[in-house]
Structure 1
Amino acid sequence: MQNLIPGDMLEVNQKLKWELDSGMTADESSVINDAVLAGVQYYTDEALEGSYWTVKWNTAHDGIDLYGTTGLVVGTIKPVSASLEADFRQDAQSLFMRIEQAVAEIVRDN
């Protein structure tokens, strides 16, 4: 359960329960934000066929920056609504499909 990247709100609630039962400090928002970040890293690793780039929330926490091997930002995943968390809550499957496509374009262009 620890490595599960929730793909919908049911899985978010399952992971939240597991984290709370394990003594971790978490809430629904933190589980969703962790899932989105982990999803971007997963698709980045898949596109590059390895863990060559790093992903991090930007300082405003309104997007996820992709850092290339030189440590410079090579692209950013932005929300289509108020936040990536809101995008996840609205339609997690569409968000992850959009992330996968955006990551593929960023990798191709860099």
Structure 2
Amino acid sequence: MQNLIPGDMLEVNQKLRWELDAGMSADESSVINDAVLAGAQYFVDEALEGSYWTVKWDAQHQNIDIYGTTGAVVGAIKPKGTTLEADFRQDSQGLFIRIEKEVAVVVRDN
């Protein structure tokens, strides 16, 4: 359960319960934000066939920046709505499909 990347709100609530039962401090928002970041990293790793690039939240915790091997930002995942968390809540599967497509473009262009 620790390494599960929740793909929908049911899995978010399962992971939240697991984290709380394990004594971790978490809430629904933190589990969603962790899932979105982990999902983005997963798609980057898959596109590059290895862990060569890193993803991180930007300073405002609004976008996910994609860092290349030199440490420079090579791309960003931006929300369609107000936040990536809100995008997840509205359509988690659609968000992950969009992230996968956007990552593919960033990898192709870099």
TM-score range, shorter chain: over 0.9
Shift of 1:94: 0.1
How many residue pairs are counted as aligned between the two chains?
110
Establish whether residue 55 from structure 1 lines up as the match of residue 55 from structure 2: yes
SS of 1:76 mapped into structure 2: strand
2:14 and 2:25 map into 1 onto residues whose CA distance is: 15
Q: Which runs of 5+ in 1 are unaligned?
A: none
1:104 and 1:63 map into 2 onto residues whose CA distance is: 17
Alpha-carbon RMSD: 0.2
The ranges of structure 1 where at least 4 consecutive aligned residues each deviate by more than 2 angstroms after the TM superposition are none
Establish whether residue 97 from structure 1 lines up as the match of residue 97 from structure 2: yes
After TM superposition, the score normalised by the length of structure 2 is: 1.00
Match of 1:73 in 2: 73
Match of 2:28 in 1: 28
After TM superposition, the score normalised by the length of structure 1 is: 1.00
2:72 and 2:36 map into 1 onto residues whose CA distance is: 21
Give the partner amino acid of 1:57. Answer: W
